Amino acid sequence: MDTRFLESFVAVVEQGSLAEAARRLNLTSAAVAQRIRALENEIGVRLLFRSGRTVRPTQSGAAILVHARDFLGHVRDLKSIAANDTPSGELRLGAVQSAKAGLLPNILSGMAKKYPQIEIHIVGDMPAPLYTKVLSGELDAAIIVKPPFPIPKTCDWRVLRKEPLIVLTSASASVRDPHVALTSEPFIRLDRTGWAGRLVDGYLRHAHLRPKERFELDGLEAIAIMVDRGLGVSLVPDWSPPWPEGLSLRKLPVPDNSFTRYIGLLWTRASLRAGLVHAFLEVAETTVAPGLKDASERKRGSSKRSR
């Protein structure tokens, strides 16, 4: 059985359409459809059916889906194990939105130069779902916000960027005190159900501030645009550029810099693709976090000397 046929089948189910699966696999829709037909002929049952514009698995297709994913995972593991000195294979990487735009492009450029044999498949999502996917093995690693709870010992974590909280105002605003801005202007809140939103909420409680809330949004870029339009002020992490173009904003640092959002790489120590993760981490640290890496090494060295 050709593993490419199984890969196409899984991609169609996950994407919900032949066209989306074809874009992900860098194929034509006709080529994907041909692979599916070949797989159905080899197995002897129909695996997919159309429902409007979407494609769904039949009962037989749903029955083999988990096994197909597991089989493809074992194939990727075998490739990683066989590539002793030269990291190669597929790395399934998750990334939050701000990291996809602000950190990943430079990292991927470095990966393409140093490790062109590593194929990286990127999944974007919120921090909590990505965290769960890493622990379940669905993803090999993820660039996420540091969880507001202890990371299990089965995982490793490396900080790539520190993002202290700032009060965001329009450049034309006359107020310069961050706490005055938060209590005197309409407040545009970062969604408090997210991990960064919980950090913001924690700071407001710590500083005994009760802003006059106008909106609550889950997108940092949308908040920046609304602040630029004079709709209010906000308290957000100083996320990595690029920011939306054409905005006229002012960043006011808050007095307590202990309220910082940490963006980093999370992965499981026992992963058979740990070699690919470490290759990615090596490039990431030298590309976007050289200062953090140097500080971490100095800290470890100081800790060893004190023993």
- Sequence spans of domains, the chain: 1-82, 162-261
Q: What are phi and psi of 207, to 5 degrees?
A: -90, 0
User: Mean pLDDT across the stretch 127-144?
Assistant: 94
Report residue 288 as tokens.
């976007």
- CA 252, CA 178: separation in Å to the nearest integer? 6
Asked which of 33-47, 181-195, 286-300 is least confident by mean pLDDT, the reply is: 286-300
- CA 64, CA 186: separation in Å to the nearest integer? 53
- pLDDT class of 11 with cuts at 50, 70, 90: confident
Pick the CATH number of 162-261 from 1.10.3720.10, 3.40.190.10, 3.30.700.30, 1.10.357.10: 3.40.190.10
> pTM for the complete prediction?
0.70
pLDDT at 99 over 70: yes
Q: Domain 1-82: state its class.
A: mainly alpha
| The pLDDT of residue 80 | 58
Report residue 172 as tokens.
């034309």
Helices marked H in 83-194: 97-102, 104-114, 127-136, 178-184
- CA 133, CA 79: separation in Å to the nearest integer? 21
pLDDT at 85 over 70: no
Q: What is the DSSP string of 226-263?
A: HHHTTS-BEEEE-PPSPPPTT--EEEEE-S-TT-EEEE
- Give first-to-last CA distance, the chain, whole Å: 57
| The pLDDT of residue 295 | 46
Asked which of 202-211, 237-246, 274-283, 291-300 is least confident by mean pLDDT, the reply is: 291-300
Report residue 265 as tokens.
């790489």
Pairing label, strands 212-217, 186-190: parallel
Which is more confident, 294 or 206? 206
pLDDT per position as a tens digit, 105-128: 999 999 999 999 898 999 999 999
Asked which of 53-62, 120-129, 240-249 is least confident by mean pLDDT, the reply is: 53-62
Q: At what angle do helices 3-15 and 59-82 cross, to 10 degrees?
A: 120
Please list the residues that pair with 261 across neighbouring strands: 163
